[in-house]
Amino acid sequence: MSPVAQVRAAELIATRRAGAYHHVTFVAPGIAESARPGQFVAVAVGGPTSANLLRRAFSIHKVTPSGTYGGTVDLVISAKGAGTQWLTALRAHDTTDIVGPLGRPFPLPAEAAPCVLVGGGYGSAPLFWLAAALKERGCQAHLVLGAATESRLFGVVDARRAGDSVHVTTDDGTAGTKGTVAAVLPAVFRETGAVVAYACGPMGMLRSVTEISAAHGAVAQVAVEEAMACGVGVCMTCVIPVTGNDGLTRMVRSCAEGPVFRGDRIRWDAFDGGRCTVPEDAVGAQAMRSH
């Protein structure tokens, strides 16, 4: 398994609002240096006697390996629960425990190729860093950002800097094209000839990106946002059904085998209303029926 660091007292050096989200920067040497786009960190919340024991997983927005303070890691947080509210209430010089980098990064194309990068809500957080990595390889990076409403978009300004083109969609039409990312993706594929799509966001969006990519002959690499207890591969809570090279479907850990999967390998048929049922043909599903 890849090396991982635990920074027990990662110091917060900046926190600012970004629409509906918070953008925070921690000093996290050992994580910043080895992280790659698509990887995530698992952050402890509430301090050493916290009643909220489970780590919160965040996709890394960007890293600065050799900043003034040592390596720093930037995260984008939606303060929707007790843990994220604690994190976003931290002030400069407060610390928390951060583990990372975790998971498999977005695989980059071996040769220069046009790519489309799709972010749903704050799922766009890792895409600008990814765009820079793609452009270093001579790839075009076309960004599509979608959200329910304008305040829930993240990084539109960054996108204009990082992307070869940018499309914005909102469900309510407060910014960009009214509708979901599916409203603009077919045209983006046609205009750019993209052969790879990268996506991060809610499951429904990832499925949609996968299907539209397939229809345009492109491969989708999607980063899932499953709930995790540990982030490091030991709790077995963040599993999703994924079909392997051998054609067999297994319940695999998003934190260890993911969070980036080929979209066409995920068993989308198993997901419904925030739940995932183990497909009947999954390895080991038979044994669950007897006891």
Partner 1 sequence: MALDLSTSLGPVTLPNPVMTASGCAANGKELARFFDVDRLGAFVTKTVMAQPRSGRGTPRMAETPSGMLNSIGLQGPGIAAFCAGDLPMLKDLGARVLVSIAGGTSTEFADVAAHLRESAAFDCVVGVEVNISCPNVANRGQVFACDPLSSAKVVALVREQLPRDTPVIAKLSPDVTDIVSIAQSCVKAGATGLTMINTLLGVVIDTETLRPALYAVTGGLSGPAIRPVAVRAVWQVAAAMREGRLPTVPIIGVGGVRTGRDALELVAAGAAAVQVGTATFNDPTAPVRVLEELAALVAGKGFTRFTDVVGVAHDRT
- Nearest to partner 1 of 1, 110 (CB atom): 1
Beta bridge partners of 26: 12, 73
Contact with partner 1 (CB under 8 A): which of 54, 90, 132, 148? 54
What are the distances in angstroms from CA 155 to CA 67, 94, 159, 181? 22, 25, 6, 15
CA dihedral 205, 21, 256, 270 (to 10 degrees): -30
Q: Is residue 251 near partner 1 by the rule CB under 8 A?
A: yes
Q: Is residue 275 near partner 1 by the rule CB under 8 A?
A: yes
- Nearest to partner 1 of 18, 256 (CB atom): 256
Could you give the string, one character per residue 88-117, with x where binding to partner 1 holds by CB under 8 A and - elsewhere? ---------x-x------------------
Q: Is residue 182 near partner 1 by the rule CB under 8 A?
A: no
Q: Which residue is associated with the tokens 């499953």?
A: 226
Relative orientation angle of helices 185-192 and 203-215, to the nearest 10 degrees = 40
Beta bridge partners of 217: none
Q: Are 75 and 58 in contact (CB under 8 A)?
A: yes
Binding window for partner 1 (CB under 8 A); candidates: 29-37, 143-151, 171-179, 233-241: 233-241
Q: How far is the CB of 283 from partner 1 (least distance, A)?
A: 6
- Nearest to partner 1 of 56, 152 (CB atom): 56
Tokens of 25: 């920067």
Tokens of 79: 């303060």
Contact with partner 1 (CB under 8 A): which of 230, 242, 260, 266? 230
Q: Is residue 144 near partner 1 by the rule CB under 8 A?
A: no
CB atoms within 10 A of CB 78: 16
Q: How far is the CB of 257 from partner 1 (least distance, A)?
A: 12
